[in-house]
Structure 1
């Protein structure tokens, strides 16, 4: 006699009324998500509109007028003449182009050097060593200092006299064979000095961002690489760099924006330390100088608009190139 096993009874289908109740719940949840997202983003969007979009639109409008601060004369419409003067005026065009060239040189040197140092420091400080928190704080400490204080400190270091810290160190190392050098007054070393100052002050910020990305890389990847007998350099190239690729793209873009916005250290070193104005002149310094010395708001806003367009174009091109390289 053969026994037949009967399959277990199927679970009863959900009642139609209950399924109908589930659908409105899902719709209400989706609608609430659609409303909650914009509401949470509203404060940030309002800040962007009030403090970035509105001032920028106002700057574009002012650039078409000849505006003098404190002058009883009303603003006069001059059209695109402010922009034309930046590139054609025999006096102003060389200064603006020199400032733009200084900005480009600063960016070309600072972006790869500061990003590379930040990556190296982040890798070194990602080790599980005793007292590593002290070293992380030590490397990040210059970021906390205001740029005005940093510029004053480096003014003492780069002082042109023999009592300057850098000149004293060079004289001690060379046994007096090399005399004092005017690091900020010389056209050959003025911008290089500002580059060293800026990297020393800003590398800790990028380091912390990359360090956070390094700590998100799973340790199992390094264990598998060690089992495959990969050395430290191979682990760095094939695991560490791809693991922080998106973070490096963000850091490069952020450093690019900061590089074109350099102003504080330049202004302080020119006005208080006798820095070479022609060698240290930047676009933002040129815009500020147009207001302080020439009382021309329209020219200053025109310079600012040109700088904004240059930063946007450079950032978009840089992002597209870096993304293509990372995908390939």
Structure 2
């Protein structure tokens, strides 16, 4: 039977149809929890390793710096307050190590960054064999610093390759020194090695910064008649602002942490001319078994790096 819908009577309000019931949505809470658990499970191994080998040793080292703990000792560990720091700041070896590290950083930071930038500019071109030169420049970086130090150790000997080359090039007039056993040449020799080994790494960072600069800027500069120097000064250099900050911070931290070259080549000598803060901490902690004193050195080194990084970050910050 069919019902006929009557037209609405004038002046009479017709009720609106009831809204349809929303469809039943699946409950997404369990899926969200599963995703969260999967994420935590993925980062758990890395987090456990960081906790075990980074955070816990850092906390333990901070606590040991205020004790008299030794690596092997029958005496119980006792709290001694700031005795280790008083001894540290009155130790001439520490101040000599700080001077050596400062000398190393002052030379390495500008020279290595400048050399890496020059290398990046050279290979930031499209020409035949560019990949070969990129590989050649980067090859020392992938070589272990211990292996590189051993290689240069033989080159720096009195009868090594460098002195043989100097003698041959000067027809026997120049007799090269014993580079690593002379206090005047030991640190410069390590500086040359360090710059050669790490310049390729920072070259890659400079290259990434160069390739992020738009080519339209160079085209506009060429249309305005800008020379290559003006293109570098007004286009390339400002475009590398953030890259400069990264390069500055990374090279400085690496320079302050100088250890491998010294440990392999000079053992801090001759006459402490190549002793560094990290090397002094390792020597005190393992060879002299003064764990607490080594922890104090490490804590001071951490604060020093933190302050220098903060100052660099402040000086290179973006200004309105």
Shorter chain as denominator, the TM-score bin is 0.7 to 0.9
What is the CA-CA distance between 1:175 and the residue it aligns to?
A: 2.0
What is the CA-CA distance between 1:69 and the residue it aligns to?
A: 1.7
What is the CA-CA distance between 1:54 and the residue it aligns to?
A: 2.5
Q: In the alignment, is residue 224 of structure 1 matched against residue 226 of structure 2?
A: no
What is the CA-CA distance between 1:41 and the residue it aligns to?
A: 7.4
Alignment gaps of 5+ in structure 1: 1-15
| Aligned match of 2:291 | 297
Tell whether the 8 Å contact from 1:118 to 1:207 is kept in structure 2 after alignment.
yes
| Aligned match of 2:142 | 144
| Aligned match of 2:15 | none
Partner SS, residue 217 of structure 1: coil
| Aligned match of 1:154 | 152
| Aligned match of 1:70 | 72
Tell whether the 8 Å contact from 2:67 to 2:292 is kept in structure 1 after alignment.
yes
Tell whether the 8 Å contact from 1:270 to 1:277 is kept in structure 2 after alignment.
no
Match of 1:270 among 260, 263, 266: 266
| Matches for 1:6-85 after TM superposition, within 5 Å | 48-85=50-87
Q: In 2 relative to 1, CA 50–291 (structure 1 residues): closer, same or farther, beyond 3 Å?
A: closer
What is the CA-CA distance between 1:251 and the residue it aligns to?
A: 1.2
| Aligned match of 2:245 | 249
Q: Answer 1 or 2: which has greater helix percent.
A: 1
TM-score normalized with structure 2 length: 0.84
Q: In 2 relative to 1, CA 44–315 (structure 1 residues): closer, same or farther, beyond 3 Å?
A: farther
Tell whether the 8 Å contact from 1:157 to 1:165 is kept in structure 2 after alignment.
yes
| Aligned match of 1:97 | 95
Aligned mates of 1:173, 1:74 — CA distance in 2: 63
Q: In the alignment, is residue 166 of structure 1 matched against residue 168 of structure 2?
A: no
Q: Which has the larger radius of gyration?
A: 2
Aligned mates of 2:46, 2:232 — CA distance in 1: 37
The aligned length equals: 296
Q: In 2 relative to 1, CA 243–49 (structure 1 residues): closer, same or farther, beyond 3 Å?
A: farther
What is the CA-CA distance between 1:48 and the residue it aligns to?
A: 4.6
| Aligned match of 2:132 | 134
Q: In 2 relative to 1, CA 287–245 (structure 1 residues): closer, same or farther, beyond 3 Å?
A: same
Aligned mates of 2:243, 2:271 — CA distance in 1: 36
What is the CA-CA distance between 1:292 and the residue it aligns to?
A: 3.1
What is the CA-CA distance between 1:166 and the residue it aligns to?
A: 1.1
| Aligned match of 2:192 | 196
1:68-123 CA-to-partner distances (Å, cap 9, x unmatched) read 222222212211100110112xxxx1101000110111111111111111111111
Aligned mates of 1:323, 1:129 — CA distance in 2: 36
Alignment gaps of 5+ in structure 2: 1-18
**Does 314-323 or 133-142 show the bigger shift?**
314-323
Match of 1:284 among 262, 265, 278: 278
